[in-house]
């Protein structure tokens, strides 16, 4: 929509709009953690093993050794990553976000497929919209040439004309949410202003109203998926 007018309907939007719009430390009997120092922790743990009383039963030594080994592993792990455990939580949250994103992508893809089915089955409505493109193309060319008489003959005297009614039938059937309907409302109000301005022979107001209505229609076709379906866009 950002190049000068061309003379055919196939260049309507690309030809008109530009032209008209100018943690914490811990301690125990065998380990004291002040800061995560792996070498000091290892020396302390080794000392704990070598100073164990010889009178202690083997089973107790085994349990104690297992306990020490477990804690040592935990200590070394924390020391190795700087004592931070938030990374694990962050990883879990990130995985949740990835799943959520994947679900959204799947949902969006399903919506696009459903829309395409509707578009392909709406041949009559597509015809209404194609006629709208051609008429707006003619109006845009006429206004660009300051020929409001021709613009008026194409537009008709009001928004109650047959081609406008049919276009709105297509808008109603093929709009999927409030964003699309907002563009429809903008189009209709701008079209009414366009017809009025043309009747008054007000060329500047006609140009502004045309750009607003054509831009709203182009955005609607992008939102609904019709932008690749209609000729002249």
Torsion over CA: 59, 63, 69, 75 (sign): negative
Place of tokens 């125990």: 28
- The 10 Å CB-count burial string (b at 16+, else e) for 72-96 is beebeebbeeeeeeeeeeeeeeeee
Least trusted range by pLDDT, from 6-15, 90-99, 114-123, 180-189: 6-15
Instruction: For residue range 173-201, list pLDDT tens digits in order.
Output: 999 889 999 999 999 999 999 999 999 99
For the chain, the first-to-last Cα distance in angstroms comes to 9
Share of the chain above pLDDT 70, in %: 52
Q: What is the mean pLDDT of the chain?
A: 73
Instruction: Give CA 232 to chain center in angstroms.
Output: 26
Asked if pLDDT for residue 139 goes beyond 90, the answer is: yes
Contact in structure between 82 and 94 (CB atoms under 8 Å): no
Give the mean model confidence (pLDDT) for residues 111-124.
Answer: 75
The CATH number given to 9-22+122-228 is 1.20.120
Higher local confidence (pLDDT), 24 or 156: 156
CB of 34 within 8 A of CB of 154? Answer: no
pLDDT recorded at residue 228: 85
CA distances from 221 to 26, 84, 218 (A): 65, 52, 5
Crossing angle of helices 38-50 and 58-80, rounded to 10°: 180
Residue 165: predicted pLDDT: 97
Structure confidence at residue 169 (pLDDT): 96
**Sequence ranges of the chain with CATH classification 1.20.120:** 9-22+122-228
What per-residue confidence (pLDDT) applies to 227?
Answer: 87
Closest-CA residue to 174 (of 107, 110, 233, 128): 128
Confidence (pLDDT) at 94: 67
The DSSP code for 219 is H
With bands split at pLDDT 50, 70 and 90, how would you rate the model's confidence at 80? low
Looking at the whole model, is its pTM more than 0.85?
no
Q: What is the pLDDT of residue 108?
A: 62
pLDDT digits (tens, 9 = 90+) for 123-135: 999 999 999 999 9
Contact indicator for 139, 14 with CB cutoff of 8 Å? no
Quick check: 55 pLDDT over 90?
Answer: no
Query: Cα separation of 89 and 221, whole Å?
Result: 44
């Amino acid at each position: 929509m950002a190049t000068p007018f061309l003379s055919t309907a196939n260049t309507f939007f690309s030809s008109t709009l530009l032209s008209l719009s100018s943690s914490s430390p811990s301690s125990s009997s065998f380990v004291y953690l002040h800061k995560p120092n792996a070498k000091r922790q290892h020396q302390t743990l080794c000392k704990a093993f070598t100073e164990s009383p010889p009178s202690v039963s083997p089973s107790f030594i085994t349990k104690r050794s297992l306990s020490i080994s477990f804690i040592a592993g935990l200590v070394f792990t924390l020391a190795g990553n700087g004592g931070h455990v938030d990374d694990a939580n962050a990883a879990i949250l990130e995985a949740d976000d990835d799943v959520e994103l994947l679900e959204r992508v799947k949902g969006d893809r399903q919506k696009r497929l459903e829309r395409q089915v509707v578009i392909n089955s709406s041949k009559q409505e597509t015809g209404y919209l194609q006629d709208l493109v051609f008429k707006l193309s003619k109006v845009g060319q006429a206004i660009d040439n300051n020929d409001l008489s021709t613009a008026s003959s194409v537009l008709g005297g009001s928004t109650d004309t047959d081609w406008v009614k049919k276009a709105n039938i297509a808008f109603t059937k093929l709009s999927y949410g409030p964003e699309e309907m907002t563009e429809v409302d903008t189009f209709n109000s701008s079209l009414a202003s366009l017809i009025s301005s043309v009747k008054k022979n007000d060329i500047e107001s006609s140009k502004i109203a045309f750009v607003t209505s054509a831009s709203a229609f182009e955005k609607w076709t992008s939102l609904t998926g019709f932008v690749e379906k209609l000729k002249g866009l």
